[in-house]
Amino acid sequence: MHLKDLYYHIMTTKEVAVVGREFSAYGMEYALVGLVNTAENTELVLFEYDKRIADDDCTEPENMTNREFALADKYRRKNLTELLHEVIIDGKKFNINGSHGCSLDSAFDSDSYVLAEFIKQGWRSEKFFDYSPEYVNLSFQKLDEKIESLSQLDLSKKISLLAYETCNEEFPQIKLDLEVDKEIDKIVELFDGKEKICIKRVHLVDLKEVGEEFSDMDFFSRICPNGMRIPVIEYTCRNDEICFNISLSSYLDSFYGDSCNGFAGEDGTFCGVIGIQLTNDKKDRKYFTIQSSVNADTKQIECEIVSCSKEIENPHIEEFLI
């Protein structure tokens, strides 16, 4: 660490207040360490320990296919730090307005400094002090309103944590054989038939023809070299909140790492996915860009809807009173 970085962390951390309560949620153990005031925000500091991961002692399988990687979230366990949306402290409700975190063994110097401040203020935990750091996650939950002074709060009162899912995600794995540049009008049902999309057409797009911002960037040529095209699916859907992911079957069957739906420049910077919006006088038309290229003379593509999601209108709220 540079000394100027240490100075910045010290000056940015204005105040900490220890809560020091431990509880269980979603089959995991948690420690609510306390609250920290920085120069800009007030954040709730949580530790999370998942005994099931520690007991599994599993390593990531080698030679995963892109399909296996895409389906990994299907088996991911719910956790409080992901589902926490509101907190009530001393009778005042705050929304969670973002979060950041990492495993304890890879904590940033700035996070370690904040933890040191809590320990100086008296925070201890027999359990979390003994857990292996690779199985402990540290989370900072940003409140939507900064508390000017943490001393004005009565932290001896119970604190309420309100957690709920805002998004319903499914993994239908629907296989599609779609002809290129022909009227299709194929109805696809999602969420047990409660939602539908209608695929109208598949366009093959040359990135060099859709905008200077693509043709001038060398790393886009990796996904769409000369003679190749990007499939863009034109569709209609009544529910604007539905999102879905379509990938080529050949991509899903390939090994993860041999190809990917994102792009990396020479400096290793990860770049976002391409989203192509074609000109159309029909206002109800939407477009989904498949992040893999095909030959320019392709007549039919084999692809799959791997996952889909939509917002939950009336989420089930779970309260943890600690």
Residue type, position 185, single letter: D
Q: What is the pLDDT of residue 268?
A: 40
Residue type, position 77, single letter: R
Task: Looking at 124-257, list the stretches that DSSP marks H as alpha helix, in order from N- to C-terminal side.
Answer: 126-130, 212-215, 249-253
Task: Looking at 226-267, list the stretches that DSSP marks H as alpha helix, in order from N- to C-terminal side.
Answer: 249-253
CA-CA-CA-CA torsion sign (109, 113, 115, 120): positive
What's the pLDDT band for 147 if we cut at 50, 70, 90?
very high
Q: Give the integer Cα–Cα distance in Å for 26 and 194.
A: 28
Q: What is the pLDDT of residue 218?
A: 62
Torsion angle defined by CA atoms of residues 178, 184, 185 and 188, in that order, rounded to the nearest 10 degrees: -10
Placement of tokens 């079957």 in the chain:
249
What's the pLDDT band for 270 if we cut at 50, 70, 90?
very low
Tell me the CA distances in angstroms from 5 to 1, 12, 108, 112, one per residue in order.
7, 10, 11, 13
User: Which tens digits make up the pLDDT trace of 63-84?
Assistant: 889 999 999 888 888 899 999 9
Encoded tokens for 309? 């999601």
User: Which tens digits make up the pLDDT trace of 157-187?
Assistant: 999 999 999 999 999 999 999 999 999 999 9
Which range, of 15-24, 198-207, 210-219, 290-299, averages the lowest pLDDT? 210-219
Q: Among residues of the chain, what percentage have pLDDT more than 90?
A: 66
Which range, of 99-108, 160-169, 260-269, 303-312, averages the lowest pLDDT? 260-269
Q: What is the pLDDT of residue 60?
A: 59
